[in-house]
Each structure stands twice: as C-alpha cells, then as structure tokens.
Amino acid sequence: MKIKLLLFILIGLATIGYLSSVTILKDSPQKSVNPKSNTPTQAKVTPTPTPTPLQFNFDSSTDLKKELELINPQIQSDDFKPLEEIIDSLR
Amino acid sequence: MIRKNLKLFFLLIFLTFLVPTQILARVTPNDLYQAKRAAFESNLSKIPDPFKREQVIKADQLLNEINQQVSLRFDKDINRLSAILEEEKERQGRTDTIVAYGQGNTTLDSAAYYLNYAAEAIAYQKIQDYTPQIGQGSLDRALKLSLNNLNGNLKTVKGKILRAKLEVKKAVDYYEN
C-alpha cells in the first residue's frame, strides 16, 4: 500500500514537473544569447557573406598593395588600461 | 510478487525517459547567460564595501565595452580588406563572390574564404559574454580572469584577420605583378 502511494506521488511529481517545464519554455520571451549586445547585427552568429565595401572607393588607379599595408588589426594596451586600473584598486 | 516488480520496472523506465527530458529542455545558451548574470548580481550584493561594489560594476561594463570597441575596429579592417579584394576581382573580371566551403581554386577564392572566416569570427566575438565570476576567491582575480579571457579571444580573432590579410596579399601579389 505504501509503495503504491509512493509510486503515485512520484508519477504525479514527474508529470507536474514536465508540464511546467514545457509551459515555461513556451511562454518565455525570445531573448538574444547576450542581451548586452542589442543591435540586430550583433545578435547574429550565422555565417556572413564577404563584407561589402561601403566606405572605400577604390578604382583601377589605386595601389592595392599600399592599401593593404595600412591594415593593421590592433589590440592596444590602452584598451585595457581603465580595467587594469580598477583591478589594481581592488587589490 | 512478479507483477509488483513489473510495475516498478515500467515506472522506472517511464521516469528514466521523462526526467532527463525536462532537465535538458531547460538549458539553452540564454539560460546559461541569465544564470551567470543572476549569480553575478547575487554575489555583487554580498560585497560589503560600496566602493568595491561600484568598481566591480564598472569593470563588468568595461569588459563589454572593450569587446565592442575592439570588435568594431576589427570590422573596419575587414571592410578595408574586403574592398581591396573586390577591387582586385573587378580588375580580373571576376563576378562570383562567395566561397562557402573549401578554400577555392584560385588565390582570389582562397582570400574570399578567409575573409568570410574572419568576418564570422568577429560577429561571434561581439556576442561573447565576459561577466566576471565573482564569489569564489578575490575580486581582482575574478576580474583579471575575465580580462585575460577577453584578451585571449580578441587575439584569436586578430590572428584570423591577419590570416585573411595574408591571403588577400597573396591574391594581390599574384595578379598585380
């Protein structure tokens, strides 16, 4: 008798848990992975096509090799300076 | 006796399939992010010193700002690279653009592939979360960990842009010489 009651309670709890999880997921609003990034382009992780050149007007007379030399992706130490200062202040 | 055991057996099978389903159904990337934020907010309120609390809030915002700022700079580099490649393609009379899989047959195809690869890496980097995991250990160590994590990821993206640059350079050198 006790076992039957225990089984009944277990099944009941499992069913309630399952139904509530389904309802929560169904009703929850759609959020981006990182809500801090709020522009639509930032929320996309899907493959992007080759970026279209918007800001540059190159023509046949442009020295492409020279233009290429101007590209220098940088992570400057100044970028992290304010953060490092905060970390130092917490030591 | 056997009948009773059979019932228990079926019940166990029922529970085995039901319980993990509901647990797995709940965990999404957004749930993980929300949980991380909730833990951060909760641990933040436990910091007794208001100055330190303020500094941690600032640091959390800065981590996101630095990520966006550097990613934006990388975006500009990729746009310039893209413009150079487009110009080279135009000079060579090539109109096709996208190489989705594989690296292509020509230096132009290969450059387009690596440009896409770098652009995707930047897009992915922009949505990364660097919420400091405070609560365990010292505050400065938790912030330093997030900073190092961010710095490391940005360096990886930078490496991908440099690779794209190298491939574009190969294409330009091949056709311009």
pLDDT tens-digit readout, B13-62: 776 666 655 556 668 888 889 999 999 999 999 999 999 999 999 999 99
Quickly state the pLDDT bin for B176 (edges 50, 70, 90).
confident
ipTM above 0.90, yes or no: no
Report CA-CA distances (Å) from A67 to B81, B82, B89.
Answer: 9, 11, 15
Q: Are A48 and B120 in contact (CB under 8 A)?
A: yes
Q: Decide if B6 is inside a domain.
A: no
Q: Are A90 and B52 in contact (CB under 8 A)?
A: yes
Within-domain flag for B19: no
Note whether A29 contacts B: Cβ–Cβ < 8 A. Answer: no
The answer to whether the CB atoms of B143 and A86 lie below 8 A apart is yes
Please judge whether A11 and B14 are an interchain contact, meaning their C-beta atoms are less than 8 angstroms apart. Answer: yes
Query: Cα(A85)–Cα(A89) distance, rounded to whole angstroms?
Result: 6
* Min distance B154 CA to chain A CA atoms (Å): 7
Specify if B129 maps to a domain. yes
Instruction: Let me know if residue B150 belongs to a domain.
Output: yes
Domain count, chain B: 1
Structure-token pair, residue A57: 């007007």
Over the stretch B86-100, which tens digit does the pLDDT of each residue have? Answer: 999 999 888 765 555
User: Are A73 and B161 in contact (CB < 8 Å)?
Assistant: yes
Which pLDDT score is estimated for A14?
Answer: 80
Residue A44 pLDDT: 41
Give chain A's residues under pLDDT 70.
1, 20-54
Chain B partners within 8 Å of A18 (Cβ): 18, 21-22
Nearest to B33 among A33, A43, A75 (CB): A33
Task: Indicate whether B1 belongs to any domain.
Answer: no
SS3 for B30? helix
Does residue B127 belong to any structural domain of this protein? yes
Q: Tell me how close the Cα of A72 comes to any Cα of chain B, in angstroms.
A: 7
Domain extent at residue B161: 47-176
Q: Closest approach of chain A CAs to the CA of B103, in angstroms?
A: 14
Put simply, whether A14 touches B (Cβ < 8 Å) is: yes
Residues from chain A that touch B139, judged by Cβ atoms under 8 A, are 90
Position B37 in a domain: no
B4 belongs to a structural domain: no
**Which positions 34-53 of A are in contact with B (Cβ < 8 Å)?**
34-37, 41-45, 47-53
State the pLDDT confidence band at B156, using cuts at 50, 70 and 90: very high
